[in-house]
Every structure is written in structure tokens, then in C-alpha cells.
Amino acid sequence: MRILVTGAFGFVGQAVVRRLAGDGHEVWALTHRPPGGPLPALPVQLVRHADITDREALRPAVAGVDAVCHLAALTNGRTSGALTERYWEVNLGGTTALLDALAARPDSGPPPLVVFGSTAAVYGAPEHQPITEETPAAPGNPYGASKLAAEQEVARRALAGQVTAVVLRCFNVGGTGDVDQTRIIPKALAVAAGQHPHLELNGDGSTVRDFVHVDDLAQAYALALTTPRPPGAYDVYNIGATPASMRQIVTAVERVTGRPVPLVHRPAQPEAPRLVADTTRAARELGWHPHRSTLDHLITDAWATLRQPTRG
């Protein structure tokens, strides 16, 4: 297939591009980065430069594609409260603009397939665990709320027959290329590398979150694109793999790196004690099974990225 990947040069986008190209697809990339600037080397046939909210600029980007993996978004839940308007503009407005551009195509034939990258943040902090796709959505920040609204817009377009859609609600992504120190694994590794004197943990470190390797997530995108489904279908899947407490992550970082991670414990915060994915549906319907999402794999690959002399 000819597939457009929005947000192609981001952390997840790069892994998705490499996986799709490796599977033999023709991959086009969409980026908001200006033309002429440096870009990571990726196996793409075409690069389009456009803001995801610009309907007119998106029209040539979607012309002739069979499917779209929509990854372009703002994704930091902790900072979304200070940038609420911008999160809604990009996450909902950008998704709407992309769907409008697809609807405006003169192409005949079946509706295009859209695989939409969503987030477990749409669930908020449900009491019942593990979290299934039927768990009521109750986002606790503008990031989750804007992504849920975007999901609903995708669903509306599928119901109208404009697209066939798959939503992947991803939990915490890590592994190769993960250098964002707002996330626990890269921050703990940076402490192990001597970049910071200590790691701060809220409470006793018993909070549990679900982690998935970016390569396993890319596999989910590849399977979502090739699993047969009727035109106009709309399906939602949780993508998570390995539940782990913050303290377990620190212990694993110390084991993998052979270096200490000094801790400073801060007061416990009002946050969900456990957020774990039920991925039964993805396994059953997509045939998705994670292979690189053990803690040791996640940490080893992120550690290798951190120790590279340069990064694209």
C-alpha cells in the first residue's frame, strides 16, 4: 500500500515508518518541520511539509494514498493544562483537517483506511483494572480530552462512510529512541549516566503503569493496516504490554546498566495507583503479541540510544 504517516519524524513515527517500509509498503511522510532543515534518515519515498491543521496544504499530501497512520499530535499530559487551547487546536483540529482533506479527494473506490494513534489518557484513572476498550472514558487532562474528541470525530466519519478506521489507544511507550526525560525510563537512565544527581519518585514508588516497546507498537500499526475489515468499520484497541511499578523500573535500570540510581522520595501525589491495559482484543483480532516489551528490552534499547554519540 501507499501509506501516509503524519508525525513521521517523531519518536513513534520513525518506528512506524521503518516497520511499514520493511514490510514493503510505499511510505510518505508528513512533517510540520520546515523544508530545508535536517531530518532523520528514514526509508520514505516522499516528504510533505505541512501543518496538520492546514486543510489546503494537506490535500496534496493525501492525494493517491491508500491509508494514513495519523500520529501528529501534542502528547504531554502534564503540560497540556497550560496549553489547553493549543492541544485542542492540534489534536482535534488537526485530525478534523486531515479527515476533511481525505473527504475532499476526487478518488473513487473504497474509503481510505485511517489508523489513529490515540492514548490511554482517554480513560483517566478508572478504578477497575485491567482497562478494557469498554471502560468508560473519563480523561483527566486536556491531552486526554482532546484525543477522545478526535476519536469521536474519526468514528463519526467512519459512520458516514468517509473512512475505515482503527484507533490504537497506546499506554506508555519506550525503547529505542526514547530520550524524553519527562518519562520515567529515560530519566532514570540519565541519572544512571551521571547527567542528574538523583531521581525523584512520588511516594514509595509503588505506582504501576503499563509499558510497551515502540517497535511492538509499530507492529500494531502494521497489523491494523493489513487486517481485513469492511468499509466504514471503526475498531478500537488497547496497546500495552508490561505492567511495572516505578520502583521496579529503577531496579531494572540499575541491573541493566550496572550503575546506581540514587532516589529522592517526594510526597505521594493524588494519582491512580495502577493503570494496566487489557490487550485481549488486539491479540484476538489483530494477532498482536509484543516481543520486545519486557523491562530489560525497554531499558536496554533506551540505554543504547542514550549512549549514542549523536542522535538524529
C-alpha cell read off for 62:
493525501
CB-side neighbour CA atoms (13 Å) of 218 = 23
CA 271 to chain centre: 21
List of residues 6+ apart from 134 with CB closer than 8 A: none
Q: Could you give the count of Cα atoms lying within 13 Å of 164 in the half-sphere of its Cβ? A: 17
Active site residue ranges: 143
Are 276 and 159 in contact by the 8 Å Cβ rule? The answer is: no
- Give the strand pairing for 164-170 and 234-239: parallel
Rounded to whole angstroms, the Cα distance separating 73 from 307 reads: 28
Beta strand pairing status for 208-213 and 242-245?
A: antiparallel
Stated length of the chain: 312
C-alpha cell recorded at residue 109: 473506490
What Rg value do the Cα atoms of the chain yield, rounded?
Answer: 19
Residue 159 identity (one-letter amino acid)? L
Q: Residue 133 has what DSSP assignment?
A: T
- Could you give the CA distance from residue 288 to residue 144 in angstroms, rounded to a whole number? 24
* Residue 18 neighbours by CB distance under 10 Å: 17
